[in-house]
Structures are given as structure tokens and as C-alpha cells.
Amino acid sequence: MYFASDNSAPAHPKIMDAVVRMNEGYASGYGNDGATTQVRDMIRKVFEAPEAAVYLVATGTAANALALASLIDPWQAIFCHPTAHIEEDECGAPEFYAGGAKLLLIDGPDGKIDPDKFRAKATITGQLGVHNIQRGALSITNVTEVGTVYSLAEMQTLTAIAKEFGIATHLDGARFANAMVALDCTPAEMTWKSGFDAVSFGGTKNGCLGVEAVVFFDPDKAWEFELRRKRGGHLFSKYRFLSAQMEAYLTNDLWIKLAKHANAMGNQLAAGLRNIKGSKFIHPQQANMLFCGWPRSGHALAQAAGAMYYAWPEADHPEKGPHDELLTARLVTSWSTTPQDVERFLELIAG
Amino acid sequence: MYFASDNSAPAHPKIMDAVVRMNEGYASGYGNDGATTQVRDMIRKVFEAPEAAVYLVATGTAANALALASLIDPWQAIFCHPTAHIEEDECGAPEFYAGGAKLLLIDGPDGKIDPDKFRAKATITGQLGVHNIQRGALSITNVTEVGTVYSLAEMQTLTAIAKEFGIATHLDGARFANAMVALDCTPAEMTWKSGFDAVSFGGTKNGCLGVEAVVFFDPDKAWEFELRRKRGGHLFSKYRFLSAQMEAYLTNDLWIKLAKHANAMGNQLAAGLRNIKGSKFIHPQQANMLFCGWPRSGHALAQAAGAMYYAWPEADHPEKGPHDELLTARLVTSWSTTPQDVERFLELIAG
Amino acid sequence: MYFASDNSAPAHPKIMDAVVRMNEGYASGYGNDGATTQVRDMIRKVFEAPEAAVYLVATGTAANALALASLIDPWQAIFCHPTAHIEEDECGAPEFYAGGAKLLLIDGPDGKIDPDKFRAKATITGQLGVHNIQRGALSITNVTEVGTVYSLAEMQTLTAIAKEFGIATHLDGARFANAMVALDCTPAEMTWKSGFDAVSFGGTKNGCLGVEAVVFFDPDKAWEFELRRKRGGHLFSKYRFLSAQMEAYLTNDLWIKLAKHANAMGNQLAAGLRNIKGSKFIHPQQANMLFCGWPRSGHALAQAAGAMYYAWPEADHPEKGPHDELLTARLVTSWSTTPQDVERFLELIAG
Amino acid sequence: MYFASDNSAPAHPKIMDAVVRMNEGYASGYGNDGATTQVRDMIRKVFEAPEAAVYLVATGTAANALALASLIDPWQAIFCHPTAHIEEDECGAPEFYAGGAKLLLIDGPDGKIDPDKFRAKATITGQLGVHNIQRGALSITNVTEVGTVYSLAEMQTLTAIAKEFGIATHLDGARFANAMVALDCTPAEMTWKSGFDAVSFGGTKNGCLGVEAVVFFDPDKAWEFELRRKRGGHLFSKYRFLSAQMEAYLTNDLWIKLAKHANAMGNQLAAGLRNIKGSKFIHPQQANMLFCGWPRSGHALAQAAGAMYYAWPEADHPEKGPHDELLTARLVTSWSTTPQDVERFLELIAG
């Protein structure tokens, strides 16, 4: 009953096996090995993007900050949602990597940027010449940080506005696979066909030990990224161990299967929660993460039985009265969540 | 016959096994797991430093740049040798992490900082008040980048000068184990007993997949380091896979055994090279890396047989005439080098 | 009829005279001259702060960015109002000088930070350990960017909350004199007696050619500031020309007289505008800058007659109907505005 | 008898008069005034560069750091002489503005970069791909920091090598006028005709209060420079007071006349020093700054009489014996030095 985070799950055995298999003999360092060349080609194929520049790093923060720093100048803004990981959870990594850039927050319901607000902010940004920070990049997160999923149309609306203003576009795909499965689309549809210039393609939360790909669909930024990565200390000498993970992750659509399972567990959990008396969802559940409140008595029982998850007390409870003894939790399922875990958890909180 | 770099070797099986064993069940992320707590204690014990602050990162560049940035201010200098990894091989990572600091280069024979030159430079640095960059940190590398080893006395002389001037001290120990084995001393003697405030304790080049510890003997900088690490994208969510490596590395002195083997292979290689007609060492061989020239005919034969190593043409050949057909190579041995490899290589180059 | 900005006014003749008088003979550079020593003492006396560290720079952006960078670390936040000059008008100078810090925006009516919102944001900032940006400094602007004036009590409420959370406090006093005159208080009451650690004490907008003082009431940050100033290129070699301005500015309370005049002109202008049929203030007028809408016909007449000011179309017009042909303007008076200018302007727009 | 620095001299009366004259009425801020437009055109004319981008800032450090930051990326190197102002006297301003770039020092006699050493360093820089800092810009100083003057041919040799390697070129002209007068050439010959992309054109040391122009002959970097300047706090609101200085400086070749006088005073001083028994020049005197040793008895007499200059004890005295009681001084003449000053000084030190 571990719903604290998908990054608390172990690596999938096939991915671990690939790492073990990779540990044979010598290999050139820093990505100059055959396995890395091969995995870069696999990613290009998966994204139907033969010209894309493809890089592996070990953390999502590195992927996001390096990608964004390559897309903008230090005097430019990154437009993002107030709940974005780059705003809330990276201790200023984008500002650091981008040499003192600014994140401009664009609100909107359910963790998604409101297109009208984005257009309004894009319009006034940089309008006063050198006195203002300039337009830089849009970064959207899908699956969002509140567990919702942007539709393709929603993403396309935002990237189209960005293009109008000459704003670069970045997709934080820490949970890329979960969003794609929810949308039932292709990787290309999720990314360049929806107007993105660069994507952080996450592996860590979906069964890897620690690997994220950064893909630039326009390879103009490739060399700059490579220098930023090295200079950031993110170029691994034994790079093959990153490549091995990603190779196994992509082989036979393992990544899609894992995300499908995680989302299915999310669906099962949500279905059960809807039946809990007094439960209340803060946001619609659409993938493998959900925010839902239920009576404190149910929490007590679950926690006594060892269930792990985060209470989310800052979630908004506008309606008081019948619900004021609610406590909201964030629950995350993963490739390793079992139906039995979910079942048992639901039984516990039902009291 | 792979002598290109110790970071081209595979991971030691015991270390890989530990990673596999760690992949059981759920664990709190970001180092908040039991295995990480344990490995931090192991490191403190190994260094006889119960108060030390201990962190794991995945690359040597990250370890160096984060440690140095935590020791200095942006308007301060890092004193190092012109051949130092931080100067030559990190694409400006220390300058980046330290917010635009300056590396002041202090020359000296065999890759070692000359104490008199260091004292002279330390004396004039910052003497003109705000007009100059200020004194910051001394960083020395042991094993040096040219394969030599600072003696304890040599390190102590340099750190004592640093202390006189209020300069912090950092040891780049990417090949810490190889130096320690060469010096036949303890980890404490190599570090705080020799006057160092912080050390990058390398694992990657000596049998790990990718892990380095940063140890601060004065924990004052601990919190700053943690924030810098997160902000640099170097805090792993599945941190346990770093901890597993380090735990196996330290258990039963595996790290010392591996370094002893690597150095023994270095010794065997050096002994053989001394017998090669016309060979010439650029620097004394003292650990697992050596720079030696020998006739081009021998190079041709070795390379034809698939031997891997770097030619080092920029090495200085002051004596011409009998040696002008020499070509210098950098040769690095590792835990996985075999006596047979060395033997065969020596036979090949002997012609 | 020049109401575009107080920084479009000329320098006051007494200040220009002092610059001319200073131009006699040789003087040590970089602030090591007698006049600079003297003016630093004058400032300490004016602020009743004998221990304060006092520096002169030539622009308000330099004063703010250097002061804030000295108060915080790169992984910390500056709390400010969304309309703050540091957020809107400095092209990211604070982020640049502070090494990639983040500005956290705290809204509130009339350009003033809402204390409850500040407390709420301060509470959650840094609560998730290294994942979040940390608490750094509060910066408030008085006169605010919308022309209102924080009362002493309002400032004290905010700085008291800051102190509770260990947050440093900075006052952006680009229009310090105008606020102080409006509040009828002393410089000490405006600053350290109201809980501020550092102040940007503006001269440029109130009759100088270009000079601002930065005052740290706790001199701990003095040396850091000096290094940051030099490194930022803001240490003037012919520093005496900054000192001369400030000396004349402070002598015989010239600065207070100039601000009193500017505010009186603001009052006259506001009084007249209130009588204009259909006029509407966006914010209360309290010093020398006001935001007021009036019918477009009046704008046309004023502009035809050469009046200079900024239209402020983004100002909020919630009430439509009778007012929908209003256009809001920002009007700024200065030491050099004359009652006749104001009178004529009011006649024009009255139609 | 003030030979400490040319920046200790007052402003020339014609320049001060222009500042006073400029102080009439209102003017748009931030360089959007007519006088600024005019002075930018004057500079383009002086440099025979109708397309050049031209900016004014108040300090030489700002001019150099902003110009260089605009020419390079953070992962690139600035090649300069070890004695360069940007290396020795700016507290790391170039590293700060350029986001953590590296200064690579190229030695050579008399404060001038040795072309062969530059070629050698340019060749190996960046040769190891991402592991190395990359090639960025060459910065040379003329007049050098040791008072010598690069010939046009010497400058052209260096810029030609730079062009071969794709390295941008910057001239630090803090004493531009003194060098130009010594070379008897035109501003165009000193700059773009000698292969420079950008120049810091100093006014402060040659009779201004505080103004330097930055000129980009290729205006591609113009907008970037403007944003960097604003963000660095170097865009003056009352910009007209910078423009007034520069306008007077250029009118009727005032700048050339002032530099001719300063150099003539340097020549007179050098001629006299050559006649002092036991005197010894450290570098050839070629403009308005010289480094010369003479017996300590002469120093004592000059200082007793109030002469101001810097002793330069770190200058190299390879020859001992007859000279071991020498003390070297740096002496700088300026537009305000008089022949009588020089004469009296020479009499004093002659004993």
C-alpha cells in the first residue's frame, strides 16, 4: 500500500536486467559507445523524428533545467503554471541553469495554464523594451502536478499562442507515458505534432532506476545542450548504464505497458474512492495520480495499517459543513502497484 | 588491452549485485531511505569523522563543482594546478556552480602545485581590496592528472599555506583509492589529518557504475551543499541506487582491494615499459595511470592488435634526436585490467 | 507640462553646482576621497545610524539588485508586490545579481503587499526542505509603483512578519523622500525603526543627476556589498562626482524641500482632477505620482498642447457605462513642476 | 605632482560645461533624448562605421564586462594577457557578466600577448569537445596595463589569428586616445580596420567625469547588449548627462588634444627619468603611463614634497648589484598634468 510517489517504486526487472547485461567488458565513456548510439536512434524512431537531438540525463530536474536553459536567454521568461514542478519543486534549478531567468506564473483550473491568461501575459511581456524581462519559453507539464491530463487540443492551443509570440515550447514529461496512455495517442502527437520544440521524456517514475531523455525536435540547440550538460556535471562517464535503462524501457513497448498498468491502478483507486462515503476529489483523476479527500477516520485506519501517502492539507476545501472533517491525500500509483494493494487500501479507508 | 581510461571499465560484480539487491520493494526517495543513512555512517567511520557531512552524487564533475561552490563566494578564486580536472576537463563547471569564480593556476612539476608559487600567489591575491578577486579555496588532485601522487607531507605543506591565508581546502579524489594505496595511509590521513576541509571521494573510476561521495569535515556547509545539489539537479529520487553502490564499495574494503589491483597493474605496465628500447616516461609512474613514450613502430603493432589508449602528442619531448620518433601515450589500468592484458600489450609494443 | 516621469526632470541647480565645485584638482579614486568620507557620515547622521554601512551607486536598479543580492542566497526568494520595480522594470536584475534567485509575488490592493498573504506565502516557502526555494528577503517599495504610500504601521506589520520567519528586509526608496514627506516622519522612522535591514535611498528622481545610496543598518554585509558593487562595474573611479551630488542633496534639507514641492504639486494636480467631470482615480493619490482616468476629449486637448505623460490603458476599469470613454494616465510631478504647469494642464483637460 | 592615476584628474572644463548646459528642461529618459541620438551619430562618424551599435556606460569595468558577455557564451573562454584589467582589476566582472566564463591567460613581453602562444592556446582550446571550455573572445588592451602600445601590425596579427579560429575580438580602450595618438592613426584603423568586433572606448581617464562608449561594429549583438546593460543596472535614467560628456569630448577633437597633452607629459617625464642617475625602465614608455625605478633617496625627497604615485615593488628587478636600492614606480600623466609639475618632480627625484 505505497502510494507516496511513483519514484519510490523499484525499477522494473527488465530494466534492471538490461543494466546488468550492459556490465560486460569495456566501453567508451561519455556516450561514445554503441549502445548509446542505438538508444538515441530508438528514441528518434519512437518520436518519428529522425533529425531530433537526443540526450540522456539521470534526473528530471536536470532534464527540465538543461532543456529550458538551452531554449531561452537569461533575460527571458519561462511561462508556467504556479503548480509546475519547475516552479515548486526544483529549488530554483531553471533560474540557476538559465543564468537568472524568471518564471512567470499563469494560473488556470486543474493545474492547466489558461490560454487566455497566457495570451494576456505573453502580450504584455517585453512590451516595455529593455525594462522588462523578455518572452522566452512556455513549459507545460503533462500529466500535470495535480494529476490531470492536458488533451492534445489543449496543448495545441497553448503552443499555437506561443508560436504567435515567438515563444519556445517545452513539455515536462516526467509522467509522459501516463499522459500518453491516458490520451491514447502517439509520442509524436504528444510532442512535435502538438507544437513542442523540446521534451523531457521521463523514465525514472515509470520503472527505470534514474534516466530521462531530453529530445530537441529542432537540433539547433544540440551543441549548446551538450556543453550545458557537461558544465552542469550531468554527462556520465559510464553513460552506458543510462542507455541500458532507456533501451529496455523502450523495447517491446515496455514503457507503455508499465504506464497502462499504473493508470489502470489509478482508475481502480479512483473508482473505489468515489464509493467512499464523504469522499471528495480536488481534481479529476485522469492518470496515475489523484487528489482526494475522505473522512479522517478512514485515514487513521489506513495509516495504522501501514499505508504510505502524503496528506495534502493545503488543498482547497471551499465547502465546509458536511465535509469539514475531510483530509485530502495525494495518491500515486505506479507500474508496481497491485490490484490487491488498491483493494486492501480501499477497504481500510472505508472503515 | 583497454588502457584508455579507468572509467571505461565495467562495474565490479559485487557492486552490481548490490544494486540489484537494492531493487526490492518501495523506498523513500531523495536519500530518506535506511540504506542511505547507513552508508553515510559507513563513510564517516571510514574517514574517522563522526561529525562529517556526507553526500552522494553520480559524477566527479558534480562532486567537485558542488563542493567548491559551497566553499567559496563568487568573487573568490580557486587555486589549482594548470592540469587540474576542474581547469581542463569540466567545461567550466566550477565557474558555473560558483557563480562566476576564477581559477588561478599554480604551476609545478609533475602535476603538483609548487608551494612557493602558491604562497606567492596567495599573498598577492586580494591585496588590492575590491579590485581583485579574493582568496577562496585550494583544490588539489590526488592521484594527479599526470599520474603522480602527492605525498602526505606535500599535501600538508600546501594546506598549511592555505590555512595561513584563510583559504579553504578541497581534495579532488576521483582516484582517491589509488592515491591512498600508493601512499599506504588511512582515509583520515589522506584528508582531514592532512588539512582538507572537503573531499570528492571517487567511486566511478574504481569499480562503481557512477557514484562519488562529497565529505565535508566541517559540517557548516552541509545545508548549503544540499540546496546547491538539488538546484543543480543532482539529488536523485531513487537515491538508493547510489547508496547501494557505495555500500558495496566500502564493504570488506572492496575499494582498497580494487585500487591495489589497479595500481599493481600500473606497476607491472611501468616495469615492462622501462624495458622497452627507447621508452621514455614523461612523469614518474606512481599509481594506475602513466604517461610514457615509445617508438611509433610499437604503437602501430599495438593498435593493429586492438589495444585502446590515448596518444598524448602534446606531451613535452625536450630531447630530440634519438627520441624524435617517439610517441607518448596515456595508459590507465583499472580493477578489471588483467596481468595477461598487460603482458600481451608489452609484447606487442616491444615489436 | 511634463508629467511623464520625475526622472525626466533636470538636476536641481544646487546639486549641479556642487558637481561643478567638486571638479577642482586631483582626488583619490573609488571613494577614497575626503568628500566621500564626509557624505557617508552625513547619511549616517540623517538616518541616526552611526554604525551603518553606506554606499553610493548611480542607478536605482543597481542599488536594489546589489542590496538584495547581498541580503540573500541564490536559492532564496525575494517576496515583493507584483507591481514592484524589481519585478516589472529591471529586466531581471535581481535574479541576475542574486545568482538565479526567485521573486515570489504577494498581491494586495493599491500596490501594497497584503500581510496575510505574505504570512501565508512565508509559511509554505521552504517548508518542503531542499525541494523548494528558501525564504530570503522582503522588498517593499515606498512610494509604491502605483503612487500610494505605506504607513509606518503598514511597513512595521510586514517587517515584523518577516522577522518571525528570519526573512531579511529591504526598502526600495527610489521615491524615499516623497514617501517620508507624505508620512511626516524621520528617515530613521521610515527605515530601521520600521524594521528594515537595508534601504535604497533614491536621489535621481528627486533632483540629482544620478545617485542612490544603499544603506545597511547592520554592517555585516558591507564587505560583500563592496565586492558585488565592484564586480558589477558600479564602483566609479571618479566617485567624487557621486558624493558631490549626495552632499548637496542632504545639505540644509534640500532633499526634503524638493520632495515637499513635488508632493504639493501632486496634491494640486489631484485636487484639480477630482473636479474634472468624469474623472476617476485608480488608486488614492498620496505623494507625487497618480493614476487617474478622464474623458478622451480632455486627453486630446492636453496632448495637442504638448503635455507629456503616459497613458496607462491596462489600468482596470471595472465600471463601464458612463466611464467607458475614460482613458487612464500616469502623472508624475517633480521638484521642477510649477503650479502654473499644473494649472494650465488642468484647464486643458477640462476642455 | 599627481601621477597616481589619470582617473584622479578632474574633468576637463569643456566637458563639465557641457554637463551644465545639458541641465535645461525635461528630457526623455534612458537614452531616448535627442542629445543621445546625436552623440551616437558622432561616434559612428568618428569611427567611420555608419552601421555600428553604440552605447554609453559610466565605468570601464561595465563597458568591458558587458561587451565581452555579449560576444561570448558562458562556456567559452576570453583570451587575454595576465596583466589585463579584466583579469587583475575587475574582481571577476567578466566572469560574472558572462555567466561563469573563463579567462585564459596568454603571456608575452611588455604587457602584450605573444601571437605564437595565442595560436597555440587557441588551437588546443575546445579540442576535446564538451570536456573543455570553448573558444570565445580575444581581448587586448591598448594602451596596455604596463604602459606600452600595440602597433597596428601587432593588433592585426592577433585579430587575424582570432578570426582563423572563429574567435571574437574586443579592444579594451580605457586609454584608447592615448594609444591612438601614440600610433598616429585613425579610430577606424585602431579598431575595425585592425580586425576588432567591439571596443570599449574610454572617456573617464581622459577628461570626462565618467563615461565610456561601447561600440559594436557588427550590430548583431546590439539588442543583447541593451538587455544586458539594463539588467546590469547600467542604463541611466538621466542618460543625457552621459551623452553631454561624450559630445563635448568628441567636439573639435577635444579628446585627441587631451591625449596628445597627456602623452607629451609622459614623454617629458620619461626623458627626464632617463637622465636620472641609476634610473631603470621596466617597460618602454610609449604613452602616458610608465614604470621606472630610481634610487630610494629620490623617492624619499619626492614623497616628502607631496608627490603622489604608486610604488610598484612587485616589478621584476633581475639585475641586482648597482640597482638593488632601486624602487620602481608607476607614473601616469593626464590632460591636467603640467610641464611645471613634471619639471619639479624630476628635480626632486634627482636629489
**Do B95 and D101 make contact, defined as CB atoms within 8 angstroms?**
yes
Phi/psi of residue A251, nearest 5 degrees: -65, 135
B235 and C CB contact within 8 Å = yes
Question: Do you find a cis peptide bond into A19, omega within 30 degrees of 0?
Answer: no
Q: Which of residues 118-137 of D touch C (CB under 8 A)?
A: none
Nine-digit cell string for D192? 575595425
pLDDT score of B322: 45
Residues of chain A contacting residue B93, judged by C-beta atoms under 8 Å apart: 230-233
- For the record, the C-alpha cell of C74 comes out as 541564490
Domain ranges of chain D: 12-252, 255-350
Instruction: Report the pLDDT value the prediction gives residue D324, as an integer from 0 to 100.
Output: 61
**Using a CB-CB distance cutoff of 8 angstroms, which residues of chain C are in contact with residue A7?**
none
Q: Is the Cβ pair B99, D96 closer than 8 Å? A: yes
Give me the pLDDT at residue A126, please.
85
What is the band of A326 on the pLDDT scale with cuts at 50, 70, 90? confident
Measured between CA atoms, the residue of chain B closest to residue D100 is B100
**CB contacts, 8 Å: C89 with chain A:** 128, 131-132
Report domain B14-252's class: alpha beta
Q: Where are the alpha helices (DSSP H) in D57-193?
A: 60-71, 85-88, 93-97, 115-124, 152-164, 176-183, 187-190
Alpha-carbon span D77 to A270, nearest angstrom: 56
A234 contacts in B (CB within 8 Å)?
59, 62, 233-234
Q: C99 and A96: CB-CB below 8 Å?
A: yes
What's the pLDDT at C322?
A: 45
Contacts 24+ apart (CB under 8 A), A184-190: A185/A152, A186/A48, A187/A46, A187/A47, A187/A48, A188/A47, A188/A48, A188/A49, A189/A152, A190/A142, A190/A152, A190/A155
- Partnered with residue C105 across adjacent β-strands are C80
pLDDT for C314 equals: 62
Q: Which helix (H) or strand (E) holds C82?
A: none
Q: Is the pLDDT of residue C163 over 80?
A: yes
The whole-number mean pLDDT for each consecutive block of 10 residues of chain D, a chain of 351 residues, reads 94 98 95 96 98 98 98 98 97 98 98 98 92 97 98 98 98 98 98 98 98 96 97 98 98 98 98 95 97 94 94 61 75 98 96 80
Judge contact between B238 and A11, C-beta under 8 A. yes
By C-alpha distance, the chain D residue nearest C27 is: D8
Question: How far apart are the C-alpha atoms of D252 and D16, rounded to whole Å?
Answer: 16
Do A226 and D73 make contact, defined as CB atoms within 8 angstroms?
A: no
Interchain CB distance below 8 Å, A130 and D74: no
Is C131 in contact with A102 (Cβ distance < 8 A)? no
**Region for residue D30 given its phi and psi (left: phi exceeds 0; alpha: psi -120 to 50; beta: otherwise):** left
Question: Which of A309, A318, A315, A319 minimizes the C-alpha distance to A328?
Answer: A315
Which positions in chain A touch D166 (Cβ < 8 Å)? none
pLDDT in tens, B249-270: 999 999 999 999 999 999 999 9
pTM exceeding the 0.95 threshold for the entire prediction: yes
* Average pLDDT over every residue of A68-97: 98
Helix axes B13-22, A13-22, angle to 10 degrees: 170
Q: What's the pLDDT band for B65 if we cut at 50, 70, 90? A: very high
Which H or E element spans position A94? Answer: helix A93-97
Q: What is the mean pLDDT of chain B?
A: 95
**Count of CB atoms within 10 A of residue C152's CB?**
15
As a whole number, mean pLDDT of residues C107-117 equals 98
Subunit contact A96:C91, Cβ cutoff 8 A: no
What backbone phi and psi angles, to 5 degrees, belong to C51? -95, 0
May I ask the CATH class of domain C13-253?
A: alpha beta
Q: State which amino acid sits at residue C95.
A: E
Strand partners, C291: C330
Say what the pLDDT of residue C321 is.
45
Percent of chain A past pLDDT 90, that is, above it, reads 94
Cα(D211)–Cα(B155) distance, integer angstroms: 48
- The set of residues, in sequence order, having a beta carbon less than 8 Å from that of C314 and lying 6+ positions away, is A124
**Which range has the worst mean pLDDT, C37-51, C303-317, D51-65?**
C303-317
pLDDT on residue A297: 92
**Predicted confidence (pLDDT) per residue in C202-232, tens digit:** 999 999 999 999 999 999 999 999 999 999 9
Q: Does D73 touch chain A (CB under 8 A)?
A: yes
Are the beta carbons of D334 and D205 closer than 8 angstroms? yes
Grid coordinates representing D14 are: 569643456
Residue from D71, C105, C87 nearest A131 by CA = C87
| Distance (Å) from the alpha carbon of A123 to chain C's nearest alpha carbon | 11
C118 pLDDT higher than 60? yes
The answer, yes or no, to whether residue C324 has pLDDT greater than 90, is no
Look at B237 and A210 and tell me if their CB atoms are within 8 Å.
yes
Nearest to B75 among D92, D124, D134 (CB): D92
D221 touches chain A (CB under 8 A): no
Which residues, listed in sequence order, are joined to residue A139 by a DSSP beta bridge?
Answer: A170
B278-293: pLDDT as tens digits: 999 999 999 999 999 9
- Reported ipTM: the value is 0.96
User: Across all residues in chain D, what is the average pLDDT?
Assistant: 95
d(CA C250, CA C14): 11
Return the closest-CA partner of residue A78 out of D149, C102, D323: C102
Name the residue among D137, D113, D125 with its Cα closest to residue D197.
D137
User: Do C131 and A75 count as a contact with CB atoms less than 8 A apart?
Assistant: no
- Cβ within 8 Å, pair D230-A99: no
CATH T-level topology, domain D12-252: Aspartate Aminotransferase; domain 2 (3.40.640)
d(CA D94, CA A245): 41
Which residues are CB-contacts of B213 (< 8 A; sequence separation ≥ 6)?
Answer: B43, B54, B55, B56, B63, B200, B201, B203, B246
Chain C neighbors (3+ CB pairs < 8 Å): A, B, D
Over range B67-86, report the average pLDDT. Answer: 98
What pLDDT, in 10s, does the model give residues B320-348?
A: 444 568 899 999 999 999 999 999 999 99
Beta bridge partners of A80: A105
Interface test with chain C among D61, D87, D332, by most C beta carbons within 10 Å: D61
Q: What is the pLDDT of residue D314?
A: 62
Of C23, C205, C210, the CB nearest to D11: C23
Nearest CA in chain A to B18: A20
What is the CATH number that goes with domain B255-350?
3.90.1150.10
| Chain B contact for A185 (CB, 8 A cutoff) | no
Write down the pLDDT at residue B351.
81
CA distance A93 to chain B (A): 4
* Cell (9 digits) for C81: 508586490
- Substitution target in D12, D14, D26, D308 with the highest count of C β-carbons within 10 Å is D26
Please write the tens of the pLDDT for every residue from A192-237. Answer: 999 999 999 999 999 999 999 999 999 999 999 999 999 999 999 9
Distance, C-alpha D116 to centroid of its chain:
24
| Interface contact A131-D230, CB threshold 8 A | yes
Q: Neighbouring chains of A at 3+ CB pairs within 8 Å?
A: B, C, D
Contact D76, D137 (CB under 8 A): yes
The single-letter DSSP state of residue C2 is B
Average pLDDT over every residue of C79-102? 98
Segment A54-74 mean pLDDT:
98
Place of cell 539594463: D230
Q: Which residues contact B338 (CB under 8 A, 6 or more apart)?
A: B265
Write out the three cell numbers for D177: 586616445
Measure CB to CB from residue A230 to each of D74, D131, D228 and give the nearest one: D131
CA distance B103 to chain D (A): 8
Q: Contact at 8 Å (CB) between A150 and A115?
A: no
Yes or no: say if D20 and C20 are a contact pair by the CB < 8 Å rule. yes
Average pLDDT, chain C: 95
Query: Measured between CA atoms, how close is C213 to chain A, in angstroms?
Result: 21
Contact C241 D210 (CB under 8 A): yes
Q: Does A161 touch chain C (CB under 8 A)?
A: no
